[in-house]
Amino acid sequence: MKKICIIHSGPRKKNTYATVEKIKQSLLRQGEVSFTEFFLPHDAPCFCTGCFACILKGRELCPHRTQIAPIEQAMLEADGLIFSTPVYVMDMSGQMKAFLDHFGHCFTIHRPFPELFQKSALVVTTAAGAGNREAAQSIRRVLSYWGISKLFEFGIAMRAASWGDIPPERSRKLQKKLDTTAVRFFRSLDRPPHPGIRFRLMFRVMRAINQRNPDGHIDKEYWRAQGWLNGGCPWKS
């Protein structure tokens, strides 16, 4: 059974939520799937304070650790991740941004989770009109710095109050596109990661930076423990 962790970042269960429900149904048609779902801001209501505790001392010292840790653990245990957001002023919701701000420590230059390199992620966005591309790119950029290379997106300009108000022919085409994306996402769960040349070069630069850090530096010691300072890489683990 495949495990999917879903991060909802819309405070209303409207169009974005309905789209994710359709994706869930499409995934269930592909095979056995279980879902663990979190809803922002309810499950992670705090804003990052910029205290740098996670980066300088360790993620366990984040002042919001009790809220973030269960979501983090669910993401690490899942085979795939879904991040959903309505488009607000041409970008992701504030709730999603506040959530992602808590994960600066797992950017590749610092202490990325080896598990995340193996996962697939799907970014789901809905907008009244424009902005899907910008919102999806913002989230995908963060996820790529986590080390996730199997990235997918599905965004729709609703141009209607709800799915039920979309003209039948357009609704049929959107459903076909949604199903195609869901199938690609599902099939990717069993495939190895495929970081591009740009990320591989960036990883080499980050390795060189950590090699130059003094012994005892939290990032250097993490990279050393993972075996990455001497030629290892997380996408082959």
Alpha-helical segments (H) within the chain: 15-28, 53-56, 65-77, 94-100, 114-117, 132-146, 168-188, 197-212, 218-226
Confidence check: pLDDT of 10 > 90 = no
Confidence check: pLDDT of 212 > 70 = yes
Q: What is the pLDDT of residues 71-118, one digit of tens each?
A: 999 999 999 999 999 999 999 999 999 999 999 999 999 999 999 999
CATH 3.40.50.360 domain position(s) in the chain: 2-193
> What class is the 2-193 domain?
alpha beta
Dist. CA 225–CA 115, nearest whole Å: 15
pLDDT of residue 161: 86
Determine the average pLDDT of the residues in 207-233.
96
pLDDT of residue 180: 97
Rounded mean pLDDT of the chain? 95
pTM of the predicted protein model:
0.96
Does residue 199 sit in helix, strand or coil? helix
pLDDT of residue 160: 87
Q: What is the pLDDT of residues 13-43, one digit of tens each?
A: 899 999 999 999 999 999 999 999 999 999 9
Q: What is the pLDDT of residues 117-157, one digit of tens each?
A: 999 999 999 999 899 999 999 999 999 999 999 999 999 99
Residue 162 to residues 13, 19, 123, 171, 181, Cα–Cα distance (Å): 11, 10, 20, 11, 20
Split at pLDDT 50, 70, 90, the class of 237 is low
Dist. CA 237–CA 234, nearest whole Å: 5
Percent of the chain with pLDDT over 90: 92
pLDDT of residue 219: 97
